[in-house]
Every structure is written in structure tokens, then in C-alpha cells.
Structure 1
Amino acid sequence: MKAPQAASPHPTWAYAGKDIVGTGLGSSRLWFTVARGIVTEVYYPRIDIPQIRDLGFIIADDQGFWVELSRLGCYEVSLPAPGVPAVTIIHRHPRFTFTLQICPSQQRDTLLLRYRLEGDKNLRPYALLAARLGGDAENNRAFVGKHNGRTTLWAEQGPFGLALVAANETGASDAWGRCSAGCLEASDGWQDFNRNGRMTWQHDSAGPGAVCLLGELPAHQTTLALGLGTSKESAATLAVASLMEDFSTTWDKQCRAWKEWMKGCQFPDLPAPLREILALSGMVLKTHQDRTYAGATVASLAIPWGESSQSRGGYHLVWCRDLVETAGAMVAMGALEDARDVLRYLIATQQEDGHWLQNQWLGGTPFWQGIQLDEAAFPVLLASALREQGALDGIPITDMVRRALTFIAREGPATGQDRWEEDPGVNTFTVAIAIAALVEGSTFLDGEARQFALLLADNWNARLDDWTVVTDTPLARRLGVSGYYIRTAPADVLVHDGAKSEHILIKNRAIDPDLPANEQIGTDFLQLVRYGLRQPDDPVIVDSLKVVDQLLKTETPNGPVWHRYNGDGYGEHNDGSAFDGSGRGRGWPLLSGERGHYALLAGEDPLPYLKSMAAMTGSAGLLPEQVWDWVAMPEHHLETGKPSGSAMPLVWAHAEFIKLCYSRATGYPVDRPVATWNRYQGRRPEISHTIWGPRYRPRRIEAGSQFTIALRAPARVHWGTNGWQHIQDIDTRDTGIGVHVVDLPLTELDAGESVQFTFYWPDRKEWEGRDYTMQII
């Protein structure tokens, strides 16, 4: 009998705060997550395709008592060794103890679960599986049937199928009792228990739609195999074959594989608890790598606020920035082949104009459409870091570097979005990455291309404070500082200074607080110190830290944590309800890691920051995107100083923890770009050269300065002085990185004089149609 279907189902994802994540290290193409003590999203055959929402258990008798394990909330998670993702979970209830072990097969696309129910003899377990094949709930179909004589719970949709098989301890006999297929919110097994207090429905099929499967199991120890394949039959074949191997053997193979991988990581000296988090962090990075697209690493195997989200994206996407931050941690750990794979993947997904997509599915299909300048720069830094290790291994990178620098030179220093994927303008973190890319990238080039990349980097570094520092503002006077770096200066600051007081929209807020740019501050300027563009004791850096600590720092029982910027709206509401397009931003542990890197450069031991990050982890040591920094709300599972409902783990946060551990051992940031550090040594460069364009268009030039006009295409510059006197024409020359330049001989002009210019575009056979004037000061 087919199950009735809900008229308007609301399929969501599982809780984002994962207890643990894992995968095998063999040929299997399956990744699993665990949250609230049960299996949640499982991904196959790529790490960006979730196939189920969750696989949990109901414990019940025939007298109306029943409890769903994921709602019980009393469980412990343990691993056989730090960083080995073979999971034991013990759920405790006054009437029973339920022990669940979870382990992937090394060879097959199968996840194995072994449980043991102890306590009240009247209780029985029921497996409850919610399918989301292909990451979609619209067209799933569920079945209860037989495969080679074994009862099998099946689901299929398009090119995907799953099968859940249960067997006794030897794997020889079928362990299922009654089974049923149902549709979400109408005929699923949870609804059956909720309405009837016991299992009363037995439907043999359901769908299409959001489907769920329910199966009765024996009370004694039993093993289940969840197989995934290109059809329900192929999935069942894999599942049954996995049950032919003793669960303990599969478990031992998983442990041996991961322990062997860990041997290649030389961990620095740390207190034992931090060393365990470091090993776990290495496992998190390795787990989030794909196998079809070597080098592709997703941001997280979690969907933020998943229990209230129907998004198909989640964080199982590739962000270029997160990917390079992760690769930097791999380099620090000595996992150089993994880092090389990242570089190869990045080269393969670079866009024709030199940038990378805001984020993408593994094969390179875009998800969001924003443009972020730092994401065009980060891959250049990875190439440079590998070369410093002597580990490029023949990867051809010159073309990639040239195209990336072309994009940076043509589009910078402003960005379409900052690193938080929100506002356009001139952002200190973004420009720091771009400057470093220009310097590091120049070492792969020669001639005019190298010279112009360095000239541009020096100019941006020298003028960065002019664009992003404000003084004598009401906020500065209120906090007792002279000046500070603002979060982002509007792009108009490249044309006129008054732009710093313009309004910048703060996103993810129900009501925009309407703060001008010069009152919005963030932690992004710390990258200037980390990369050697400014000294840690630079007065503006020190004052900016004072502002940040007064406005963005929150003390929690587990240590201090910092917000991204004032007015941030990306996080739970104050009543504990999930982020729903608006909310209130919370503290980010990865920012504690960035602050720890600053402390290291300022001569302090960053150990307190590592300890704080470790204290903010989940029950098994995973680092979250955000921690709850408001009053505790147990009804929403929110504890002050512990993970919120945002993504956990956040791979970027684990990468930052790893890098801070190794940076502490070396005495300097392990990801600092060497050529950039050597060039600036923390000092703002003194320059006697002004570059006009392509986007920076100043109106004044100091007397005696050299002057270069930079354009995006070949042009004839038509120019004169002091009101179009002494008119001349000069053709631009190609720098080799997408910018065409001409030097105007203005060094003899005195203060008070001026220069006028316009352009003729030979390719288009037309004039610019606008005159420009520069005042000599």
C-alpha cells in the first residue's frame, strides 16, 4: 500500500552543529556527519551532494512509551584516538542505554552502524531514515522490498539510489521486523509514533516528494549498512557486501588508515588537550576534501541553521578564500601533496579574466555571483608558499599568476564584496591580500610586468591609510583614540576623501542601523600586521585594537571572542531563534586565532588564544563558525561561549587553529608571504610616484612626483598643462598584466600648477568624452 503524501511538506536539513564528521581514506566516495548523537547528512559520490537528511533511532515499547534519540539530549561522543573518525556514541535514559558505533567502509560507498540496546527488555529500536537524494526532496521515492531475499529499505531519485540493510552479528540473516515508507509530515514514521505512540503504519512505497523510511529492529546488537549507488539495486549490493565483513574488521581498517595518515604530520609541542584538537583539526581538513576533484575542499559539511533551512547550497561548496586558507594549514602540517592538489584545482577553475568565482560546486559551476578581490589574490599566495617549500613539483603557474595579477591590477584596490561577502569598497584585509599577491606574483614574472606589479603594490600600501583611516570622528573622541581603520571605505574614496562619511549598508539586519562608513569597524586590519605591511606597535594599529576591543570583543566563560564588525546581523536573534535572513552576528573563534597571530607578532605567547578556541569547541572538539555570546538558552541548545546553530565544523576555523599552533612553534606566522615580508618589514613605503587609474583617480599630485596613467586598454593620452597649454600626445605601453600605462613628465611643475588630460581609444576609434585635471600641491 502506498503511503499518503503531504499536501505541503517542509523538507529541511539537519542541525548544523555537528558532533563529528568523517570519511574513509580508501576508494570509498562517502562522507558522513553526526549531530545530536545520530547520523545526519551523508554525501556521495562527491562531497557537495548530500543524499540523506538524517538516520536516527526511536526507542519504544508497545505501551505508548517512545523517545527519539536525537531529542533525548543525553549522550557522549568518543573516538578511538584523536583525529580518527570512527565514532562511538552512548545515549543514556533511565530505562535504557543505547550504544551506537559509526564507521565508513574503506572500499565501498557504504556507512556501517552497529548498535547495542541495554536496559528494559520491553524496548525495541526503530531506525528512521529521511532521504534527500541528490540534495533535493522534490522527487524522492521510497520502497520497502527484497534484495536477494533480504528486506531492504530503499529510496531513489534520478541517478541516485540508497539502500538500508540490517543483519545479525554474523551478517548472515535479515534483522528487520516491520517496515514502512512514508511522506514527510503525513505518513512518515515519526508521525506514526507522534500520533499513535507506537508503530502502526506499514506502507510499502511513498513519494515522489520528501520521503522517510522506518524499520523495526531487534533489541540485541545489530549492524546496519547504508549503501549509496547509481540505483537502489546497486546501493543494496554494496550494503549487503559490506555486511559480509565483520564490523570490527571495518572499524580496525578505518583506525589504521587514519593513524597512518597522521604519522605524516609533525605536530609541534603543545599541551595534551590542544594537541588533540590539532590532530582533530588535521582530520577535519582531510575529511572535507573531495575524491573526484582532487584538491577541492568544501567550507563545511554543515548547513547553517539546517533544521530551519531548505537551501540546496549550505556550506558544501568551494570558496577560493577558504580553500587557500585551508591549503596554508596543509603546508604548515607538511601535507604538501594535498596543497599541490589544491593549487592544481585552482588553476583548473580560474576564470578567463583571472578571477575565481565567489563560490562554486566542485566542477566549477557558480553558485553565488559576487566578485571578491581577495579571492583573485589568494591562489598566487599559495603558489608562492609552495615554491618557498620547494614543493611546486613542476606545476606550471606563470599563466595563472599573470591572469590573476591582471584582474587585481584592473579592478583593485576596491572589491565588489569584502571577505564576509557583503559590502563593496576598499577593505584592509582584501587590499592586504592583493598587495601581497602583487609582490609575490611579481617574482614569477619579469620585465615591465614585474616592475609594474611592484609599483602598484607599493602605491596601494602607501595610500591604504589615506583610504581607510579616519581621525577625530565622534567615535574616536568617545573612545579616546586618535584614529582607526574603518571596516570598508566606499569605492568613491578612490576619487574623493569625503566618501569615508558615506553610508554603507549593513546586511542581514531587519533594520539597517544606518552607520556611516567612518563608524563601522572590523578586525580586518590585523592582516596588515600578519603580512608585514604594518608593525604591531604602529599607532593606528594600536588605536584600532582599542576600538575593536571596546566594540567587538565579548568575554565568555571560555575566553574572549570577537565579532566581525559592529552591527553584524549574521547570527541567531537574541531570543535564540535561528538566523532567517536577519539576526545578530555572534563571536567567531577564527577571529580569536587571527588575534592570536597578532599577539605573537607583538611579542606575546598566543597560547591563551589557542586555549580559548579549544574551549569553544563542540562535544567532540569541532570548531564552530560562531559561538553563542548571549545569555544561555537551553531550550535552543545555546550555551554561552559554546557553539551556536551556525556551521560546525568550519574548516577555515580549524585551518586557523592549525596555523596558530605552528606559528607559535616557529615564532612568526607560518602563512606570511616571504617576499612581501622582506619588502616592507612592517613599514609603510615612502613613494615619489603617483598612479592614476584604472580605478584609483586622485585629483592632486605632490610637486616633484612622477606620474603614471594606467588604463585597461591601449590609448593615446592627449594632455597639456595649466589649462591645456603645451599640448602633447603619448601612446600607452603594455605592462603585460592587462594594464596600459604612460608616464607624463610632470616633475618640473610647481605647486599651484595643473595638468589636464583625456584619451583617444584606437580600438574603438573614439575619444573618452571627458577631461581630467590634476592639481600640483
Structure 2
Amino acid sequence: MEKHIPQPSGKAPAPRWRSPAWASARKDMVGTALGASRLWFSVAQGIVSEVYYPRLDIPQLKDLGFIVADDQGFWQELRRLPGYTLEFVAPGIPALTIRHQHPRFSLRLGICPDPQRDVLLLDIELDGDAALRPYLLAAPRLGGDAHVNCAWTDSWEGRPLLWAEQGPFGLALMCADADGLPGFGMRSVGCVGESDLWQDFDRHQRMTWEFTKTDPGEVALAGELPRRCTLALGLGSSKEAAATLAWSALMQGFESAWQGQCEDWAGWQKNWQQPPALAALPDAARQLLQRSASVLKVHQDRTYPGAVVASLSVPWGESSSSQGGYHLVWSRDLVETAGALLAMDKLDDTRAILCYLIATQQADGHWLQNQWLGGKPFWQGIQLDETAFPVLLAAALHARGALAQIPVHDTVRRALNFIVRQGPATGQDRWEEDAGINPFTLAVAIAALVEGGALLEGRERDCALMLADYWNARLEDWTWVEHTELARSLEVPGYYLRSAPTDALCHDGARHEHLLIKNRAIDPDLPADEQLATDFLQLVRYGLRDARDPRIVASVTAIDKLLKTDTPNGPVWHRYNGDGYGEHADGSAFDGSGHGRGWPLLTGERGHYALLAGEDALPYIEAMAAMTGSGGLLPEQVWDTDPIPARGLYPGQPSGSAMPLVWAHAEYIKLCLSHAQGYPVDRPVQTWLRYRGQRPHIPYYLWRLKQRLRNLPAGKELRLLLHAPARVHWGRNGWQEIADVDTQDWGLAHIAVLPTMLLNPGDTLEFTLYWPDSGQWQGEDFQIRIVLNMAV
């Protein structure tokens, strides 16, 4: 059958298929300028990948790559050419030279943003066979949409260019040769998969098409370049604005931009000096520390100061259709990042984050699961730790005397009110999965109650501390199990659960119902007491339990046996057994299910535990430094089983998950600084002073409508915690000696105290509630039995 070849001019044919929406997540570099520019970019597979403008959450380009070809049938796409090398000016300065080597040619590609304009500059030099020429191929995603209104080849004030436009955004590609003259040769615009440059070379082994315009759709831009030239990608509010910026940048020159970028970033780096105690770190570890600081800075937005996205990448981007990726804000990741910035004495950046969080707090006191930079919700889950973390940030700045008049009382009070109402169970854990009572979430919530309570006064403070002590005292009642089949197989007496089901609160200890494991296609249901995670380590990090507590030691032994993988680059831990978030066994991309891999972030958390246990944290620092990609960035996950070279997967090296993960870089910074300091730099001050690793002994138990005790240890006082004024009508042993007690307003809740200390084991307590605001009775009676003890 004869293949139809479109005419080499006019309008490009419409596409018959859609390509992946995003680029590879395995980034070689992420970058931005420190001047007036509002452009961010990343590099992957040796070419430019996503470009963002004018905010960190608005991608405008999927990738900008190159083909090197002659007119005799030879062509080579650079992103498919292995073995390129990366040359950085210095660790953490986002200006990069890439060298691609082939038997017939070498191509040098310099990449640098214009510090003063919304322009990305690429300096290109092709050496070797004189018959070869470079060609660019670019995939616009204006406004993050694969559907672009239109693309053209045109000329702007007599200068040839390529441009595209969609809604309020315009993109222009312009080229200047070595003499500063317009450098484009042939140009074409096409539809991806049908009439783009790659299809042209695949069908004809050379560039034959010169389409001048496309219909709306998934467009591609292409152009023939001089062997020595500078290419400018300009972005603006229109295609004309983008072209003006692009040519202005070309006239100022690549070297000027390069020098300005390097000087600006070198000056920024000088503002923070690594502690002298870290001078003994290996070179790779110190370089990663410097690079990590820059990664945190790169991921900060300018339109919304204080907003930091989780990553300038989309996990498994080549197979993803997500419109969000990781260029969104999670309050948890944001505060984890702020903790590293605060430890580095970046007080202005830290305060900006707190102000951003105050502005985006919801009316009921919580923060969204994640959001676009302007505050628009993306996912809709409720994660209790994401409400607790901003309180810890406010308290940490307060402890440093660095709040600088930022009013935090209302924010803290509303956040604690939400925690009091919703806790101790969370709608989702920190991995955005199961509801339940999770040790990590609970540790953060308890710390928030203590730290936030210190910022309040009177009964509000008393209420926060009362609840913090109660949750801390009952942690093991809810989340510790013993003598399970898993414990026997791991040869430990017991361990902290990954999460206890929420209805454990209505019983007197952890329940063993099944918890659904998200992202796991096979056998997604496992008993709660057979699920083990690293999350309990936060109990030690925040000072709620001692590192040498027998239950902590047993749980550490368990995770080291079950969740740890030793790779050639060091040990790495899985989030929990049965995790389904990662590549499949054959290395194919996560597609809603898969097999979770090791997280360098968790190596950092395990390193913090080692520090508190009196061990050396340096092996964990070195392991994290060894798990970076070729550009020195930390991934979300590393491959942790047999290598699959065809997919670029090797043990201890980045998988296709997000890279860089800003949270991982923040954790690395904190681990290094904690190593120098001798204890975690983000340990909440008041929480440590209150508990010092010891489980508190409390003289009371709490009853709530959502947490209905059935048993009360003898000698304990019963306190009812309610969210509205009430009268408690109560009696004992079958409604004898009836009495009434009115609740008192403790600011964050209404509390009624019943004098139950003199009741004996076997006695019963009966009560009901009258609500004066509505004039109604609860309509049900409650009974609590007095027991000898409820110890775990």
C-alpha cells in the first residue's frame, strides 16, 4: 500500500494519536534565575524537559530536543544517544553544559536562563562531520495543556521564528548564528505523531516538511539550525511579547546571561556557610548539601512568595496523563522544606512560607491535601499532619525569636481546634492513603498540640496539653501489637502498626480489621496487625519516645528485617510492606498499581533515629549522597532489585519516580545539620522539654462521641470532651446516685469532669447528654465499666 506523504508546505495534517503528556521525571538538573525572570526549567535525557512560566505550577513546554542529520539518510535524536556528560560550573549553580558524543559528531549544549527576562537560552556547537546539521524539535504545552490553539512559522520584524499561542500565553523560538544574525534555515510546525519533525525523519530520513501553520491540537515546532548558534525560548503574554523577549536576550548574548547566572547564584550560596563540623564530610556529601540548598531555592515561586512545589517533575512522566504531577503545594512538604531553611538560618524564606500557609488555611482550620499555588484545591483528602505541620513551623520561628510580628494566634487556634475535633485518627496518612491512627501523623499532631498550646493562654493551652498528653499516653494502646504471625516471623515481640483502623478508638486497644493497601492490584487487603511501616520513627525524632525504648527497638529491628534493602549505594527502606506505588516487577511504569521501591528520604529518617540511638549518622548521609542521579539530584525512589538495563534501572539508582523530590533534599540537609548538632534540628522544643522521650502518666481518660470508651481503669478520672456546651446526667451501677455535671468551656472544647476515682473494678458508670443550645437530649445512654487496668 502506498504511503501518503503530505505536501511540504501549507497546513499540517491533524494527528491520529496522542503522545505522552509529560517528559521523563529523571531530571539531570532543575533551574531558575535569581533576577526578574519568572521562568523555571529542567533537564532530562540530555535535553531541556519541562519549562514553567510565569509560575512554578504552569508548564509551558514538555521538552525541547535535537536531531543531528545529513542529507544522505543519517539522523540521530540526541535524547536517544546514551553516554552524554554533564558539566556544572559548581554544585548547586543551575547553569549546565551537556556534551553528546557520537562516532560522527560531538555536540555541546549550554543551558542557562536569562536572569532578567522570561527566556531560556541554549548555546549550541556541533563539531565533526561537516555534512551534519542540528535540528530542533519542541513540544509546547502552553498553560499545561497538550491542546495548543495554533502554531506558526513566521517572521518577526524580518527575523524568522517559530511560535505558538494558547489563551493568555505565547511562546517564541528564535535563533542567532555566531555573528548575531538570524540563524534559522528550514522551519516547520506540525501535529505530534503525524507531521512533526521526528515523523518527517522517520519517513524520509531528512527534513522535507515546511508546514507554516497547524490547527488546534498537540503541536510540535521544528527548525534547522546553524552548526554554531544560540537558541532563545521566550515566553510571554502573547507570541509577540515572547518574540520581543527572545530577540532581546539573543542580542545581549549567551555569555552575558551565563556570567550573570553564575554570579547571582554564587552570591546566594555565600549567604550560607556550612557548619565547620561538616568539613570532614566526604566531598560527594558536601557537594550534595550545597546542591540541596539550591534545589530548595529553585522550587520557590515568585508570584506567591513562600509557595514551594514538591518537584519540577511528573513521576513516570512519559506514561502519565496527570495535569498536576508534583508541581503542586503540599503543606507537609512545604513545612519539611521550611524546617531545612530554618536550620540554615534562611529566616526570610521561612517567614514567607509561614505567611503563605496562613493565607491558604481553610476556614475550619485545616489545610488542603494539595493545591495549585494560588490556593485552588487539587485533591480533596484530609490529612491531619498537614494541619499540624504549619503549627510546628509557627512555633519553631517563635522559639528562634524570628516571627517578626507575624500574627499567628488565630491560625494556631483554628488549626488546633481542627486537630482536637478530628484527631487522633486521620482521613489519610502521610502517603495519602489509608484512614486510621498512624504513628507518624499522631506524633506530628501531638507535637502541634504542645507547641501550639505554648502560643495560647489559659484554658485553651490547658486543653491542648491535656489532649496531647492523653494521645501520647495511649499511643501504644492504639498502635502497638504483640505476638502476631508477622512478629513471630521477624523474631520480635511486637511492633508499631503502620496504621490502626479508626474504629480502634471505640475499643480498648488496636483492632486487627483489614486495611486496604492503595495501589496494590493483588491481595490489597491485609490485616492491620500484619502491616509494618517506618512511620513510628517520628515518635523518637520528636521526643515522644526514647530511642532505646524496648518497643521502639523491636520495631526498628522489624523494619530493618522486612523493609530494608541493601543496595550497592547503601541501605534504603520501603514505606511499608505491600506498598504498590512504584514500577512493576518488569520495570514498566507505575500505572495505578505496581511495587513500591526504596525511598532515600526514609534513609534520612532512619539516619536520624541512628543519631538518637547513639550511632553514627554518617553512613546514612553517604548512602543518600550515593543514590543521586547523574546530575546529583535525589529521587523519590531508587530501584532496589535486579538491574533492568533496557529500562535504565539499576540497584541503588533512581527509578522513574519524581526527581528531584524537594522533601528528600530537605531531609538530607536536616540530617547533615543534625549530624553536626548531635540531635534533630527540627525537634520541637516544647515537646522535647515536656516528654524527653518518656510516655506520660495521666490521671484521667477521655470520652468523646467519636471515641466512646467502654472500659475505664480504676482510680482514673473520666473527662468528657465535647464540641458544644452540655449537661452530663450520670449515675453508677444501674443509674444509682444520679447527678448532673455541666461542661466548662476550655476554649478548644467543652469539658466535663466526673469524679470516678473512687469507683471499684466491676462498677459501672451510666450517663447521657443534654444539649442546652438546642434544648434536646442525646437520645441514647452510655455505659462504662470500671476495670483493673488497660495497660498494653
**Shorter-normalised TM-score: what interval?**
over 0.9
Instruction: State the match for 1:776 in structure 2.
Output: 786
Instruction: State the match for 1:387 in structure 2.
Output: 398
Which region of structure 1 is more displaced relative to structure 2, 760-769 or 359-368?
760-769
Instruction: State the match for 1:685 in structure 2.
Output: 696
Instruction: State the match for 1:297 in structure 2.
Output: 308
CA distance in structure 1 between the partners assigned to 2:574 and 2:222 by the alignment: 43
Instruction: State the match for 1:758 in structure 2.
Output: 768
Instruction: State the match for 1:167 in structure 2.
Output: 176
**Are the counterparts in 1 of residues 472 and 696 from structure 2 also a CA contact under 8 Å?**
yes
Task: Report Cα offsets for 1:574-631 as digits up to 9, x if no partner.
Answer: 1010000000000000000000000100111111001100111000110000000121
Could you say if the C-alpha distance between residues 515 and 336 of structure 1 is closer, same or farther in structure 2, counting changes exceeding 3 Å?
A: same
**Are the counterparts in 2 of residues 297 and 318 from structure 1 also a CA contact under 8 Å?**
yes
Which region of structure 1 is more displaced relative to structure 2, 138-147 or 297-306?
138-147
Q: Does 1:196 align with 2:204?
A: yes
Q: Does 1:38 align with 2:50?
A: no
How far did residue 726 of structure 1 move? 2.2
**Are the counterparts in 2 of residues 128 and 215 from structure 1 also a CA contact under 8 Å?**
yes
Name the SS for the 1:500 alignment partner. Answer: coil
How far did residue 252 of structure 1 move? 0.6
Name the SS for the 1:191 alignment partner. Answer: helix
The residue type equivalent to 1:265 in the other structure is W
> Which residue of 19, 22, 27 maps to 2:28?
19
CA distance in structure 2 between the partners assigned to 1:746 and 1:487 by the alignment: 34
CA distance in structure 1 between the partners assigned to 2:782 and 2:202 by the alignment: 74
Task: Report Cα offsets for 1:191-222 as digits up to 9, x if no partner.
Answer: 11111111111100113011000000011x20
Q: Does 1:230 align with 2:237?
A: yes
The residue type equivalent to 1:405 in the other structure is L
Q: Does 1:141 align with 2:150?
A: yes
Structure 2 gap ranges (5+): 1-9, 788-792
**Are the counterparts in 2 of residues 23 and 31 from structure 1 also a CA contact under 8 Å?**
yes
CA distance in structure 1 between the partners assigned to 2:411 and 2:21 by the alignment: 40
Instruction: State the match for 1:102 in structure 2.
Output: 111
CA distance in structure 2 between the partners assigned to 1:764 and 1:188 by the alignment: 69
- TM-score normalised by length of structure 2: 0.97
> Which residue of 432, 448, 469 maps to 1:437?
448
CA distance in structure 1 between the partners assigned to 2:773 and 2:46 by the alignment: 65
Instruction: State the match for 2:670 in structure 1.
Output: 659
The residue type equivalent to 1:762 in the other structure is P
Q: Does 1:179 align with 2:190?
A: no
Which region of structure 1 is more displaced relative to structure 2, 134-143 or 158-167?
134-143
CA distance in structure 2 between the partners assigned to 1:473 and 1:204 by the alignment: 69
Could you say if the C-alpha distance between residues 7 and 766 of structure 1 is closer, same or farther in structure 2, counting changes exceeding 3 Å?
A: farther
Task: Report Cα offsets for 1:471-522 as digits up to 9, x if no partner.
Answer: 1111112221111101000001111147521000001011234310000000
Instruction: State the match for 1:266 in structure 2.
Output: 273
How far did residue 748 of structure 1 move? 2.0
Task: Report Cα offsets for 1:421-471 as digits up to 9, x if no partner.
Answer: 000000000000000000000111111010111111011000001100001
Instruction: State the match for 1:570 in structure 2.
Output: 581
How far did residue 107 of structure 1 move? 0.9
CA distance in structure 2 between the partners assigned to 1:413 and 1:24 by the alignment: 43
* 1:640-655 alignment runs, 5 A limit: 640-655=651-666
Instruction: State the match for 1:247 in structure 2.
Output: 254
Q: Does 1:496 align with 2:507?
A: yes
* 1:160-559 alignment runs, 5 A limit: 160-171=169-180, 173-219=181-227, 221-268=228-275, 269=278, 270-497=281-508, 500-559=511-570
> Which residue of 580, 592, 603 maps to 1:581?
592
**Are the counterparts in 1 of residues 25 and 313 from structure 2 also a CA contact under 8 Å?**
yes
Instruction: State the match for 1:51 in structure 2.
Output: 60
Moved >4 Å (runs of 4+) = none
Q: Does 1:93 align with 2:102?
A: yes
> Which residue of 73, 82, 86 maps to 1:77?
86
CA distance in structure 2 between the partners assigned to 1:246 and 1:12 by the alignment: 32
Name the SS for the 1:749 alignment partner. Answer: coil
Instruction: State the match for 1:127 in structure 2.
Output: 136
Could you say if the C-alpha distance between residues 315 and 719 of structure 1 is closer, same or farther in structure 2, counting changes exceeding 3 Å?
A: same
How far did residue 121 of structure 1 move? 0.7
Task: Report Cα offsets for 1:677-736 as digits up to 9, x if no partner.
Answer: 111010001111111125332211122211110112222222221112222232222221
> Which residue of 127, 140, 143 maps to 1:118?
127
CA distance in structure 2 between the partners assigned to 1:170 and 1:370 by the alignment: 56
Q: Does 1:767 align with 2:780?
A: no
How far did residue 347 of structure 1 move? 0.3
CA distance in structure 2 between the partners assigned to 1:537 and 1:139 by the alignment: 59
The residue type equivalent to 2:217 in the other structure is G
CA distance in structure 2 between the partners assigned to 1:126 and 1:163 by the alignment: 16
Instruction: State the match for 1:748 in structure 2.
Output: 758
Could you say if the C-alpha distance between residues 483 and 56 of structure 1 is closer, same or farther in structure 2, counting changes exceeding 3 Å?
A: same
How far did residue 170 of structure 1 move? 4.1
CA distance in structure 2 between the partners assigned to 1:547 and 1:636 by the alignment: 32
How far did residue 11 of structure 1 move? 4.0
Name the SS for the 2:472 alignment partner. Answer: helix
**Are the counterparts in 1 of residues 479 and 510 from structure 2 also a CA contact under 8 Å?**
no
The residue type equivalent to 2:52 in the other structure is Y
**Are the counterparts in 2 of residues 170 and 246 from structure 1 also a CA contact under 8 Å?**
no
- TM-score normalised by length of structure 1: 0.98
CA distance in structure 2 between the partners assigned to 1:292 and 1:728 by the alignment: 60
CA distance in structure 1 between the partners assigned to 2:214 and 2:780 by the alignment: 67
Which region of structure 1 is more displaced relative to structure 2, 378-387 or 719-728?
719-728
The residue type equivalent to 2:251 in the other structure is M
How far did residue 562 of structure 1 move? 0.3
CA distance in structure 1 between the partners assigned to 2:353 and 2:577 by the alignment: 34
The residue type equivalent to 1:149 in the other structure is G
CA distance in structure 2 between the partners assigned to 1:170 and 1:322 by the alignment: 47
CA distance in structure 2 between the partners assigned to 1:31 and 1:723 by the alignment: 70
The residue type equivalent to 1:758 in the other structure is T
Task: Report Cα offsets for 1:320-363 as digits up to 9, x if no partner.
Answer: 00000000000111111100000000000001111100000001
CA distance in structure 1 between the partners assigned to 2:311 and 2:751 by the alignment: 43
Task: Report Cα offsets for 1:382-420 as digits up to 9, x if no partner.
Answer: 111111222111110010100010001110000000000
Instruction: State the match for 2:6 in structure 1.
Output: none
CA distance in structure 2 between the partners assigned to 1:500 and 1:682 by the alignment: 26
Could you say if the C-alpha distance between residues 170 and 729 of structure 1 is closer, same or farther in structure 2, counting changes exceeding 3 Å?
A: farther
* 1:706-717 alignment runs, 5 A limit: 706-717=717-728
Which region of structure 1 is more displaced relative to structure 2, 725-734 or 292-301?
725-734
Instruction: State the match for 2:164 in structure 1.
Output: 155
Q: Quote the sequence identity (%).
A: 64
CA distance in structure 2 between the partners assigned to 1:604 and 1:533 by the alignment: 19
CA distance in structure 2 between the partners assigned to 1:652 and 1:300 by the alignment: 9
Name the SS for the 1:244 alignment partner. Answer: helix
**Are the counterparts in 2 of residues 328 and 671 from structure 1 also a CA contact under 8 Å?**
yes
CA distance in structure 2 between the partners assigned to 1:629 and 1:197 by the alignment: 40
The residue type equivalent to 1:77 in the other structure is L
Name the SS for the 1:162 alignment partner. Answer: strand
